[in-house]
Amino acid sequence: MGVVLNALLLWDIHCLISFEKWRTKYGNAVFLWLDSLTEFDALSSLGTFAFNHPDFVFPEISGSALWEFRSVGHPLLDPADRVDNDLLVKNEGEIFIVTGPNMAGKSTFLRAVGVNIMLAQAGAPVCAKKMVFKPVCLFTSMRTTDSLQQNESYFFAELKRLKLLLDKIGEEEQVFFLLDEILKGTNSADKSRGSEAVISKLVKLKGTGLIATHDLTLSDLENNFPGKVLNKCFDAEIVDDHLVFNYKLHDGVTKNMNAVFLMKKMGIIE
């Protein structure tokens, strides 16, 4: 049929003329259609997420600077193994120093808070029994990497992230930050002094967020900035020569470290 129609009626040319007329009339609307399709796909995904997690709750929006997390957990963890925790940020400008031994749950808790804030601001249910939040710009520095292409060391990449955070807060943006072991790309003395200076600057700028660290000296900042810097911790116990974690967040500073114990258990040191 194609051979006959093209030979007698020039069918392909008529089709091209019709398509060009359609493009002239509707071509400018194509991007709007694609945007609508993208939004529909995103909303469908959020609806599917809500359907697949009937135990999750929809968060409440607070008009004041309040973030309340009740039994919050990471949505990607198996509910049978997941340990949920509470966190209450009463006022803007509160900074929580989260200490704890290796594998105790610090980074997982920061990720749980961050993921649930993103879900809440997208309009999805959250992995918690209750969540009250104020919409903010969420800022994280958790998986910073060096770059051979840009000739950047790991430490310089860390500094760039911290500079970006301070600039955002300085521009009076509402920011909730999550920092995991800042300045670990330098020696311990510089790390401690630098971390104290960064936290002091964040306090002056009324920054709000969580900082996970192994540096226990940073917990002393709670005395320097009462009501602004607060200590939280995870802990672990050695029971019958086994390391036991409960993954529960507590007030205060951790008292146990496990690096040497783990190295002995693995036969790395005597």
Question: Is residue 43 a part of any domain in this protein?
Answer: no
Residue 109: pLDDT band (50, 70, 90) is very high
Please name the amino acid found at residue 267.
Answer: G
Residue 111 lies in a domain: yes
Tell me the residue range of the domain where 166 lies: 48-265
Q: How far apart are CA 67 and CA 61, in angstroms?
A: 9
Instruction: Assess if residue 137 is contained within a domain.
Output: yes
Is 197 in contact with 82 (CB distance < 8 Å)? no
Q: Does residue 5 lie in a domain region?
A: no
Residue 95 lies in a domain: yes
Q: Is residue 37 part of a domain?
A: no
User: Which of residues 256 and 91 earns the better pLDDT score?
Assistant: 91
| Number of folded domains that form the chain | 1
> For the domain that residue 213 is a member of, what is the CATH number?
3.40.50.300
Contact 129, 57 (CB under 8 A): yes
User: What is the mean predicted confidence (pLDDT) over 194-201?
Assistant: 94
Higher pLDDT, 265 or 263: 263
Statement: residue 191 has pLDDT above 80: yes
Who has greater pLDDT, 218 or 27?
A: 218
Residue 223, pLDDT above cutoff 90: yes
Q: Give the residue, 105 or 143, on which the prediction is more confident.
A: 105
**Is 210 inside any structural domain?**
yes
Whether 160 is covered by a domain: the verdict is: yes
What lies within 8 Å, CB to CB, of 263 at 6+ separation is: 269
Q: Which runs of consecutive H residues, i.e. helices, occur in the chain?
A: 2-9, 11-26, 30-52, 106-122, 154-170, 188-204, 221-224, 259-265
For residue 142, is pLDDT > 80?
yes
More confident residue, 54 or 188: 54
pLDDT at position 193 is 92
